[in-house]
Each structure stands twice: as C-alpha cells, then as structure tokens.
C-alpha cells in the first residue's frame, strides 16, 4: 500500500463515520428523537407527499413531533398525536394539534411532551405516534393528504 492509498483509506474511514452520524442527527430535528417514515410517495397534485412521526423518552415523560414533505404548496398542515396502550384500548396521551406552514415544500408538526401513563408490571406498554399529513397546492384547491402511524 502506498502513501496515497493509505491517506485515501483514512479519509474514507473518517468520512464514513461522519456520514453515518451527522445526517441522521440533522433529520431528527434535535437529539434523542427516533423517527419513523409512515407515509411515503402518497400521490398528490404535482408529485408525491411523505410524512414521518418522531418520539423521544425522558425518565417520566415523552415527547412527539413529525413532518410533512410535499411538492410546492400554498399550505402544508401536519397533525401529530401520541398514543399508549397497556393491551386493550389506545389512550391519546399527547395531542400536538395541527401546525400550518405556508408557501413551502416542508411542514414540521408541533412538538408536545407530557407524562406517560401507567401500566401494571406484567402488561406490555406500547407507544404509537400518528400523523395526519395534508397540503393544498393553491389557496383555492382542495386538501390532499393521508394519515400514518408508527409503533414504538
């Protein structure tokens, strides 16, 4: 191995490490969020719409958010909600509500946090985050969009 090959290899190793970490961190909109793409390539006028939901946990609380991506839109509206179950029904524990973004291709949802609920020691405590991902191409066009949910 000559000197140049070795330098090239070193750069590749360092580049791989950077490449593996920095973009992921950037796409999570802040540290600690785990995101799931729940809608991809949903057809809308002028292209496709995608959406993800994100969650992160603290010692006694958790927080949710999400994002919508769409072709250039007059408005993009994103709703995010966090649900929990101990086995039977799902409880809406976090409601981030709708957040609107105008004249854009990207619509972040609100961030909301709160306590997580109790399950008995022997019950499976499961989390789900739902999103409603919507857009209007122009102010006079109708809403286009869909919903998606991810389990944690």
Partner 1 sequence: MSRKFMERTRQLFSWYTLLGIAVLLAIGIGAMWIGTDLLSANREDSSSSPPQQTVPDYMLTDPLLAGKVITWTESKYSFLKNGADPANGQSVRVESWVKVGSDGIPTRAHILSLFEDGAFHQEILVSPDATTIIFGSNYPDVSSGAKTGCRQNWPAYSPEMRKSLLPSFIDEKKLSRFGFAPADLPTPNYPKSSSLVNANPEKTLESGKTVRGWQMRQTSDGITNIEKVLIGERGRVLALETNRTDNTGQVIAENKSVFSSIRIYMTKTIPEKVFSLSDQAHEVCHE
Pairing type for strands 91-108 and 61-85 reads antiparallel
* Interface with partner 1 (CB under 8 A), residue from 53, 70, 116, 137: 116
**135 forms part of the interface with partner 1 (CB under 8 A):** yes
- Cβ proximity to partner 1, 103 vs 136, nearer residue: 136
**123 forms part of the interface with partner 1 (CB under 8 A):** yes
**140 forms part of the interface with partner 1 (CB under 8 A):** no
- Cβ proximity to partner 1, 123 vs 138, nearer residue: 123
DSSP secondary structure, 122-150, as one string: TS--EEEEEEEEEEESSTTSPPEEEEEEE
* Interface with partner 1 (CB under 8 A), residue from 19, 23, 46, 87: 87
Site for partner 1 in 35-54 (CB under 8 A): none
Determine phi and psi for 59, rounding to 5 degrees.
-65, -45
- Please tell me the distance from the alpha carbon of residue 44 to that of residue 70, in angstroms, as a whole number: 8
Pairing type for strands 34-44 and 61-85 reads unpaired
Q: Which two tokens stand for residue 141?
A: 């066009």
* Interface with partner 1 (CB under 8 A), residue from 65, 73, 77, 111: 77
**69 forms part of the interface with partner 1 (CB under 8 A):** no
Residues 104, 88 contacting (CB under 8 angstroms): no
Question: Which DSSP helix (H) or strand (E) runs through 78?
Answer: strand 61-85
What is the binding site for partner 1 (CB under 8 A)? 3, 6-7, 10, 13-14, 17-18, 21, 31-34, 55-60, 62, 77, 79, 81, 85-95, 97, 114-128, 130, 132-135, 143-147, 149-152
């Amino acid at each position: 191995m000559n000197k140049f090959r070795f330098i090239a290899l070193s750069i590749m190793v360092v580049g791989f490490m950077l490449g593996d970490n920095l973009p992921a961190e950037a796409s999570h909109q802040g540290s600690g969020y785990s995101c799931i793409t729940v809608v991809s390539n949903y057809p809308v006028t002028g292209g496709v719409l995608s959406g993800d939901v994100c969650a992160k946990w603290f010692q006694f609380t958790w927080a949710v958010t999400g994002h919508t991506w769409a072709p250039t839109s007059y408005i993009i509206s994103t709703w995010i909600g966090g649900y929990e179950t101990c086995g039977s029904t799902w409880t809406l524990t976090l409601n981030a509500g709708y957040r609107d973004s105008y004249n854009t291709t990207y619509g972040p949802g609100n961030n909301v946090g709160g306590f997580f609920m109790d399950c008995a020691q022997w019950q499976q405590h499961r989390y789900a985050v739902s999103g409603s991902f919507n857009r209007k191409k122009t102010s006079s066009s109708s809403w286009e969009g869909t919903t998606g949910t991810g389990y944690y």
